[in-house]
C-alpha cells in the first residue's frame, strides 16, 4: 500500500507500507520471449524466508517446495 502523505518521510512524498505474507515462498523465473513465444529457462526458489532481502539472496534449482504439477504448467 502506498500512502499519499505520512510522517517520517520527506514532506509531500509517498511512503510504502509493506505487509509480510506468512508461510510465503519466493521464486525467481528466468524466461525469454520474442513477443509471441515465451520459454522458461529456469525456476529457482529462495532458501531464506520470503521478504528477507539482505542484498545477497541464496536460491536453489529445482525449487524444492513447488509441486511438479505446478512447475510443469
Can you give the pLDDT at residue 12? 65
| Strands annotated E in 1-73 | 2-3, 15-16, 27-33, 38-46, 59-60
Can you give the pLDDT at residue 24? 82
Report field, pTM of the whole predicted structure over 0.85: no
Is residue 59 classed exposed, middle or buried when 0-12, 13-18 and 19+ CB atoms within 10 A define those classes? middle
Residues 13-69 have pLDDT tens digits of 677 667 777 888 888 899 999 999 999 899 999 887 776 666 677 889 989 999 889
Is the Cβ–Cβ distance between 49 and 25 less than 8 Å?
Answer: no
Amino acid at each position: 500500500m502506498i500512502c499519499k502523505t505520512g510522517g517520517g518521510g520527506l514532506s509531500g512524498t509517498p511512503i510504502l507500507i509493506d505487509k509480510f505474507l506468512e508461510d510465503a515462498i519466493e521464486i525467481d523465473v528466468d524466461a525469454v520471449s520474442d513477443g509471441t513465444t515465451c520459454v522458461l529457462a529456469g525456476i529457482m526458489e529462495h532458501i531464506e524466508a520470503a521478504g528477507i532481502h539482505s542484498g545477497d539472496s541464496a536460491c536453489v534449482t529445482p525449487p524444492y517446495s513447488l509441486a511438479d504439477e505446478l512447475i510443469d504448467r
